[in-house]
Structure 1
Amino acid sequence: MDSPITVAALYRFTPVADPAALRDALESQCKAQGIKGTLLVAGEGINGTIAGSAEGIAHVVDFIRAQPDCAEAEVKYSHAAEMPFYRMKVRIKREIVTMGVEGIDPRASVGTYVAPQDWNALIADPDTIVIDTRNDYEVAAGTFERAIDPKTATFRDFPDWFRRERERLLGEGRAPKVAMFCTGGIRCEKSTAFLKAEGVEDVYHLQGGILKYLEEVPEEESLWHGECFVFDERVTVGHGLALGTHVLCRACRRPINDEGRASPLYEEGVSCADCYHERTDEQRASARERDRQEKLARARGTSHIGATRP
């Protein structure tokens, strides 16, 4: 399949002295290059995913890497047949990935990075505890063998989950290795730093995240099952970063597989089995009309004013 759109998922933990100035500069650079996506800027760094032409993405990445202490910014590339974003957003946040725990600094203390080629051996070790640090709806689309699902709704829930489960996971005099993973690596930077701050020393995380693993590890050698949820219109990707099979429920933003689409409660653009009973008839009617207007706008080649998808 022809895939003319380059997608770059990137982050860098580094002090940003003037987040507003960096936001404005990034907005200008992205607009000039026709780039779409979302970038988050905070005092602790930059994070986001952007898409556009190969030349435009290269220009913006070069601009980011030219910023102080950003030459080694983590960037993972993939491709899409169509633009996976509707607009460009650059936002200032308190954190570039929100954990909500004061004093966690991945620049000062972080887990041991494990290359994708070495990940299988680590998580296959029965003495290793494997934790998926992503949200419950992401885990539902796919995860690694032996991985524990914390069933968290947001990353903010992870610290409380670990503190509740710590004794069960690490108690009785055990000192197992703890291996954690996430989509692109950024959440693991914070989750491993958090565990080390909690006194857990033998902590590891998958370098480059699931996306790097799926890109580099052949499917026949893989311990990954399912697909990886991504925060754009591709919804999920599989081995080799090929386009996945899930669609997105426009009402609740959860990924829906073939079985979910077969549910009588699934209506494109309106509801799925997971969210049908969370909404009223009036809300579903409103969603139905919004979906109709968006489809009409796409048929005309324009953007519907009510379209707020990322």
Structure 2
Amino acid sequence: MDYRVLLYYCYTPIEDVLAFREEHHRLCLKLDLRGRIIVASEGLNGTVSGTKESCEAYMQAVKSDPRFAALEFKIEEAPAHAFQKLHVRIKPEIVHVGLPAIKPYERTGVHLSPQEFRDMKDHEDVVILDVRSDYEHNLGRFKNAVTLDIGNFREFPEKVEELRKYQNKKILTYCTGGIKCEKASAYLLEQGFENVYQLHGGIIKYGLEAGGEDFEGKCYVFDGRVAVDVNTVNPTVVAHCVNCGQANERMVNCANPHCNDHVVQCESCGEKLDGACSEACQQHPDKRPYDGTGNYPKQSNHYNPEQGLYSYSPPVLS
């Protein structure tokens, strides 16, 4: 395959986020990279796709900056671009949880390599904690993992009290690429939990380096692929169509933009409901046309640093 998908993040202080954002955007345009990149005063987070050569040049450029020397890229092959457009945005946090005061580069959970995670996960004194949203862990999760009923990562702090019963155990947190675990494990430590760990590189790296053993189902990803296989050792299907209940791993967005729920839906039910997750959503007057994919890419604001700030104004950072 001639294309690559890069998943990465790095918590590190960035003083002039606007200047960094402009320079970084120009670099991505020059290399014809596409995807979503978030810049904040606390670091950098992104998922981009491009040719093998462009991705190599990008990784070399990023890691040449001393602030990102320790950054690790998760690299996957792809037949073409996984994104249609490029977005480089400034936000208060590189993953939104509403805890800007938590600084993972100062204190966070113990990083476990995929092999170390695999060796520890089945011990009696261990709890595996999925810190992702429900639509993600409904599609796939580690065997025997504790999951949280949250629609968005920003709800994680509200669920910490539910985890008090595990306070005397070793808590192994995991997420897609590792970024959510940095803040989740740091917050658990702040809340008095002592034995907190995290799967370094997340599910993606675990699949690449440990064969994905005991990860059941598929992994939800935030690009055009939507879901990817992880387990090459003992794969299984855990998700079911939201409508007919049959085992299935096809993840879609509801065609009703006012709902837009992430759901598992088989192709037959998708056709029957014209891309909607329910009959009520099917009848909504604003329902989007269904092309069989259930994927509705966001429109670009057409911002280009070489042509001016058309519709862009940076957020106020606290």
Q: TM-score, normalised by structure 2?
A: 0.81
User: What is the correspondence of 1:232-247 to structure 2 with a 5 Å cutoff?
Assistant: 232-239=223-230, 246-247=250-251
> Could you list the runs of 5+ residues in structure 2 that have no partner in the other structure?
233-247, 301-318
Q: Distance in 2 between matches of 1:271 and 1:105?
A: 40
The one-letter code matched in structure 1 to 2:165 is R
Aligned to 1:254: 262
Cα displacement (A) at 1:67: 2.4
Question: In structure 1, what residue type is equivalent to 2:5?
Answer: V
Equivalent residue, structure 1, for 2:183: 190
Tell me if the contact between 1:196 and 1:203 (Cα under 8 Å) persists in the aligned partners.
yes
Residue equivalent to 1:53: 51
Is 1:208 matched up with 2:213? no
Identity %, equivalent residues: 30
SS in 2 for 1:40: strand
Structure 2 contact 203–230 (Cα < 8 Å) conserved? no
Separation in 2, partners of 1:50, 1:34:
10
How far apart, CA to CA, are the structure 2 residues paired with 1:12 and 1:102?
Answer: 15
- Pairing of 1:33-182 with structure 2 (within 5 A): 33-163=31-161, 165-170=162-167, 175-182=168-175
Question: What RMSD over aligned residues (CA atoms) do the two structures have, in Å?
Answer: 2.5
TM-score (norm 1): 0.83
Distance 1:250 1:67, change over 3 A: farther
Distance in 2 (alpha carbons) for counterparts of 1:264 and 1:52: 31
Q: Indicate the SS of the match to 2:185.
A: helix
State the shift of 1:168 in Å: 3.4
Aligned residues: 279
Secondary structure of residue in 2 paired with 1:69: helix
Whether the 8 Å contact between 1:265 and 1:272 is mirrored in structure 2 is no
Structure 1: distance between partners of 2:299 and 2:194: 40
Determine the C-alpha separation between the residues in 2 that align with 1:26 and 1:49: 14
Whole-angstrom CA distance in 2 between matches of 1:152 and 1:143: 15
Match of 1:227 in 2: 218
1:44–1:160 distance in 2 versus 1, CA, 3 Å: same
Q: Closer, same or farther in 2 for the Cα pair 1:307/1:192, shift >3 Å?
A: closer
Show the counterpart of 2:210. 217
Unpaired segments ≥5 residues, structure 1: 296-305
Structure 1 or 2: more helix by fraction: 1
Worse-matched range after superposition: 88-97 or 145-154: 145-154
Q: Which residue identity is paired with 2:262?
A: R
Amino acid at match of 2:284: D
**SS of the residue 1:47 aligns to:** strand
Matches of 1:39 and 1:235 in 2, distance apart?
Answer: 17
Conservation of the 8 A alpha-carbon contact between 2:96 and 2:154? yes
Name the CA shift for 1:178/1:109 in 2 (closer, same or farther; >3 Å).
same
Per-residue deviation, residues 163-222 of structure 1 (Å, max 9, x unmatched): 3x133333xxxx111111000001001111101111111001111100001111235xx1
Change (3 A) 1:271 1:185: same
Provide the rounded CA distance (Å) in 2 between the counterparts of 1:122 and 1:49: 29
Shifted more, 118-127 versus 78-87: the winner is 118-127
Moved over 4 A (4+): 264-268
Q: Given the superposition, is the C-alpha separation of residues 54 and 149 from structure 1 closer, same or farther in structure 2, using an over 3 Å criterion?
A: same
Amino acid at match of 1:63: A
